[in-house]
Amino acid sequence: MVATLQHPLLPIRSKKRVDTIHDLNHLALKKNISFSQKLYARFMMNRAVKSSDRLITVSKFSLNEIVKYTGVTKKKIKYIYNGVNVDMIKHAIDNSIVMKVKKKYHLPEKYILYVGNIKPHKNLKLLLLNTLLITKNMLYFPSRKGNL
């Protein structure tokens, strides 16, 4: 039995354990979080590193950050890029639904949709500045209050 987890709080019984660490923003970008959040992040990362037989992360950069902030050896970590099967989603897109959404939100023909947290480390300011350099009216940030 192999347990594949993302930092569980409770002890897990299994012969082998694999943890996934997506990034170390909470350790690398300390100025954006509280002292208690820093302590919790360090505790959880160190616990994952010590209790896992192997670690998975999403990039070479994240692998190097894990080594830098936890001291674990690179041999214990495997990076696997996030991916998408484009062939699967090509057939799932209903053009009539896309047109309804574009009409509802008054979207132009071409636009960039960002879906994620609006936090400093996401570097949305750079995205916005570069988008403005490339084109006008292509950037859309959905929120509960409408387009930002």
Parse the chain into domains and list their residue ranges.
2-79, 90-140
Nearest to 50 by CA among 26, 66, 37, 30: 66
Task: Please identify every stretch of the chain with a pLDDT value under 70, giving residue numbers as ranges.
Answer: 1-12, 92, 135-148
Q: Percentage of the chain surpassing pLDDT 90?
A: 21
The reported pLDDT for the residue numbered 10 is 61
The reported pLDDT for the residue numbered 34 is 85
The reported pLDDT for the residue numbered 2 is 41
Stated pTM of the model: 0.64
The reported pLDDT for the residue numbered 60 is 96
Nearest to 4 by CA among 24, 62, 15: 15
Residues contacting residue 39 through CB under 8 Å, at least 6 positions apart: none
The reported pLDDT for the residue numbered 11 is 65
**In angstroms, rounded to a whole number, what is the distance separating the alpha carbons of residues 144 and 148?**
10
